[in-house]
Structure 1
Amino acid sequence: MVDRLLGTWKSTSCENFDEYMKELGVGLATRKLGRLAKPSMTISAARDVITIKTKSAFKNNEISFKLGEEFDETTPDDRKTKECTMNDVTCTRIYEKV
């Protein structure tokens, strides 16, 4: 299953991202930049570790984790988190494989 996700993906659309960022407490200026971003993602795997590198004109981010295990994440706006629930706000990003 993971093999089908490996490779580079580009963002084609994003729904509800501004509302999602508001729930996170992200300021107006950063939200404006975030709405403009059309990030690409590269997903790779080495043994049981998955790495996702996200790149945009504004900010790059990288996370690595083992499937099925809790992990610490630093979000693109430098927040430390393990789990993120944003009330009833859902942000949907759609990517297509490059």
Structure 2
Amino acid sequence: MVEQFVGSWKMVSSENFDDFLKAMGVGFAIRQIASRTKPSLIVTLDQGIICLKMLSSFKTTEVKFKLNQAFDETTADGRNTTNIVTLENGKLVQIQSWDGKETTIEREIVDGKLVTKCKIGNVVAVRTFQREA
């Protein structure tokens, strides 16, 4: 099931991302940059190791993990998080924890697009990526 995510993706829309970042406690300057950036996402799978590489003019981040195994990540905005990613009903579900807070990032393929829902508390941001040729 993870294979459907493999490929290069370009962000085509982003909704409510600034409010999501604000709810996480990200400062104004970084929120402004992050909200205006349209990153590309490269997803690879090699012997059970998933790699998510987010490229933008602001910052490039890369995280490698295996499903159902906890891993640490320093996010683009500088948070040190503990994560676990599971596959649930065709969705990659990432739980990200830091400083007593928690976000959920759900990635799924909808009509050929990779839709990412980022949730913290009652705040939900939706970022949609289209497969690059």
- What interval of TM-score do these two structures reach, taking the shorter chain for normalisation? over 0.9
Match of 2:129 in 1: 95
Alignment size in residue pairs: 98
Match of 1:39 in 2: 39
Report the RMSD for the aligned CA atoms in angstroms.
1.0
TM-score scaled to structure 2, two decimals? 0.70
Residue ranges of structure 2 left out of the alignment (5+ in a row): 83-95, 97-101, 104-119
Identity within the alignment, %: 40
SS of 2:45's partner is: strand
Stretches of 4+ moved more than 6 A in 1?
A: none
Higher RCO (CA < 8 A, seq sep 6+): 1
In structure 1, C-alpha distance between the alignment counterparts of 2:72 and 2:125, rounded to whole Å: 21
| 2:53 partner amino acid | K
TM-score scaled to structure 1, two decimals? 0.93
In structure 2, C-alpha distance between the alignment counterparts of 1:76 and 1:90, rounded to whole Å: 19
State the 1:8 CA deviation: 0.3
Match of 2:62 in 1: 62
Residue ranges of structure 1 left out of the alignment (5+ in a row): none
Q: Could you say which structure has the higher helix fraction?
A: 1
